């Protein structure tokens, strides 16, 4: 199989490329990535140079680049996106350009070049905040922030290409991922790295918002399963079956690192902050998905990774991230 992975220099994409190359040595992966602020080729330095891996720097919203990259493959997995909710609140422009328009460009090229599979990596955020039972795949969308709204738009366009053009589109809606190589603007790596630096952990609101944490290696195994066994036209939730309040996760991180709970600092809440995510993951389990990692040990492994790879995140934290952090958290503390 020849796979085009978009956004493969980011967090889940780089873990997924590593997963595919180690489990399917006869597959070929082309990684198309624009290398935005969070795309990082360091995430893939261990696979760089392999004959069955190629990197192309380019934008999924650029039709010429996309058509060329797709000419060589049979399947597309679209991870490329602007992904951080707080940034989408500051400005949604790039989210509309990449998440909506970029997905459209990929779908158009995939239609013309008759891809065997088009996997659209969406998110559990499309259902919005869920106070009661877990959302099922057929439930209505109710996105609350510009990021989740653009992801909802992207997957609706993708679904329309299945219905109208017979393109074999499959949608995946994973819950919150965590693990190695996650950009430290996101909750778990931000709190681990701040704790390692003995700086405050900025907890939004009352800290009681709930997220369903999924270890990235389990997410990759689920995506692999859907790539091979998923049904075109279907959507699959991928749940970590692991709902926790943010304050509980923050305390676990501090306990593991032997740091004081006083580092936790309540700050102004995120506007439109979804209270609780909850998805029913039974459909992908019926396909054969079996989570391998228990939360406690996965969090421990993740903390160990950030503790060992200080150069990776210190480099990030001293670059673009520094201005973002000042703007974002200066206002929150203020």
Kindly list the residues in this chain that would bind ligand DAU in the complex (CB under 6 A). Answer: 83-85, 123-125, 175-176, 186-187, 190, 202-204, 209, 211, 246, 270, 277
Which residue among the candidates 147, 161, 181, 277 is catalytic per the annotation? 147
| The binder of ligand NAD chosen from 18, 66, 83, 207 (CB under 6 A) | 83
Selection from ligand DAU, ligand NAD, none that 11 binds (CB < 5 to 8 A by kind) is ligand NAD
Say whether 94 is catalytic: no
CB neighbour burial string for 257-280, b if at least 16 within 10 angstroms, e if fewer? bebeeebbeebeebeeebebbbbb
Helices assigned H by DSSP within the chain: 11-23, 63-70, 85-90, 93-95, 103-112, 146-165, 187-196, 216-229, 246-257, 282-287, 295-308, 310-317, 320-333
Say whether 147 is catalytic: yes
CB neighbour burial string for 291-318, b if at least 16 within 10 angstroms, e if fewer? bebebeebbeebbebbeeeeebbeebbe
Q: Is 35 in the site for ligand NAD (CB under 6 A)?
A: yes
Q: Could you give phi then psi for residue 246, rounded to 5 degrees?
A: -60, -40
Q: Could you give phi then psi for residue 172, rounded to 5 degrees?
A: -120, 140
List of residues 6+ apart from 12 with CB closer than 8 A: 79, 121, 174, 177, 216, 219, 220
How many residues bind ligand NAD (CB under 6 A)? The answer is: 30
Q: Using CA atoms, how far apart are residues 218 and 238, in angstroms rounded to an integer?
A: 9
Nearer to ligand DAU, 265 or 309 (CB): 265
Instruction: Supply the minimum distance, in Å, between the C-beta of residue 248 and ligand NAD.
Output: 18
Q: Is 34 in the site for ligand NAD (CB under 6 A)?
A: yes
DSSP state of 240: -
Q: Is 230 in the site for ligand NAD (CB under 6 A)?
A: no
> What region does 305 belong to: left with phi over 0, alpha with psi -120 to 50, or beta?
alpha
Nearer to ligand NAD, 9 or 235 (CB): 9
Nearer to ligand DAU, 28 or 211 (CB): 211
Which residue among the candidates 124, 212, 217, 274 is catalytic per the annotation? 124
Instruction: Supply the minimum distance, in Å, between the C-beta of residue 175 and ligand NAD.
Output: 7
Q: Using CA atoms, how far apart are residues 312 and 131, in angstroms rounded to an integer?
A: 38
Q: Is 81 in the site for ligand NAD (CB under 6 A)?
A: yes
Selection from ligand NAD, ligand DAU, none that 105 binds (CB < 5 to 8 A by kind) is none
Site string for ligand NAD, 141-170 (x = CB under 6 A): ----------x-------------------
Are the C-beta atoms of 171 and 139 separated by less than 8 Å?
A: no
> What region does 247 belong to: left with phi over 0, alpha with psi -120 to 50, or beta?
alpha
List of residues 6+ apart from 231 with CB closer than 8 A: 170
Which residue among the candidates 125, 155, 185, 212 is catalytic per the annotation? 125
Are the C-beta atoms of 123 and 144 separated by less than 8 Å?
A: no
Selection from ligand NAD, ligand DAU, none that 209 binds (CB < 5 to 8 A by kind) is ligand DAU
Say whether 294 is catalytic: no
**Chain residues 85-124 in contact with ligand NAD, contact rule CB under 6 A:** 98, 102, 121, 123
Instruction: Supply the minimum distance, in Å, between the C-beta of residue 314 and ligand NAD.
Output: 18
Selection from ligand DAU, ligand NAD, none that 33 binds (CB < 5 to 8 A by kind) is ligand NAD
Are the C-beta atoms of 270 and 204 separated by less than 8 Å?
A: yes
Instruction: Supply the minimum distance, in Å, between the C-beta of residue 52 and ligand DAU.
Output: 28
Tell me which residue has its CB nearest to ligand NAD.
10
Active-site amino acid positions: 124-125, 147
Judged by the rule CB under 6 A, the positions of this chain that interact with ligand NAD are 6-7, 9-13, 33-36, 38-39, 59-61, 79-83, 98, 102, 121, 123, 151, 174, 176-177, 183
């Amino acid at each position: 199989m020849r796979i085009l992975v978009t956004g493969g220099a980011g967090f889940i994409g780089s873990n997924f490329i590593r997963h595919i190359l180690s489990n399917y040595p006869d597959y070929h992966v082309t990684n198309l990535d624009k290398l935005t602020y969070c795309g990082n080729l360091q995430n893939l330095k261990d696979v760089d140079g392999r004959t069955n891996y190629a990197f192309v720097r380019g934008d999924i919203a650029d039709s010429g680049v996309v058509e060329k990259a797709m000419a060589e493959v049979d399947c597309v997995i679209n991870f490329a996106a602007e992904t951080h909710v707080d940034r989408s609140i500051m400005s949604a422009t790039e989210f509309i350009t990449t998440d909506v328009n970029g997905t459209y460009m990929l779908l158009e090229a995939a239609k013309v070049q008759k891809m065997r599979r088009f996997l659209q990596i969406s998110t559990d955020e499309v259902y919005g905040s869920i106070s009661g039972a877990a959302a099922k795949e057929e439930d209505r969308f109710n996105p609350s922030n510009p990021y989740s709204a653009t992801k909802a738009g992207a997957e609706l366009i993708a679904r329309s290409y299945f219905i109208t053009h017979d393109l074999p589109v499959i949608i995946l809606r994973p819950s919150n991922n965590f693990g190695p190589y996650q950009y430290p603007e996101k909750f778990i790596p931000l709190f681990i790295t701040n704790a390692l630096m003995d700086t405050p952990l900025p907890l939004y609101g009352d800290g009681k918002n709930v997220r369903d944490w999924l270890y990235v290696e389990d997410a990759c195994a689920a995506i692999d399963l859907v790539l091979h066994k998923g049904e075109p036209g279907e959507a699959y939730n991928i749940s970590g079956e692991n709902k926790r309040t943010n304050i509980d996760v923050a305390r676990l991180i501090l306990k593991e690192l032997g740091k004081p709970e006083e580092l936790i600092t309540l700050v102004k809440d995120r506007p439109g902050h979804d209270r609780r995510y909850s998805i029913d993951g039974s459909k992908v389990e019926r396909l054969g998905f079996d989570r391998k990692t228990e939360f406690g040990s996965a969090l421990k492994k993740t903390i160990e990774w950030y503790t060992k790879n200080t150069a990776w995140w210190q480099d990030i934290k001293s670059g673009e991230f520094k201005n973002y952090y000042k703007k974002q958290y200066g206002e929150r503390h203020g």
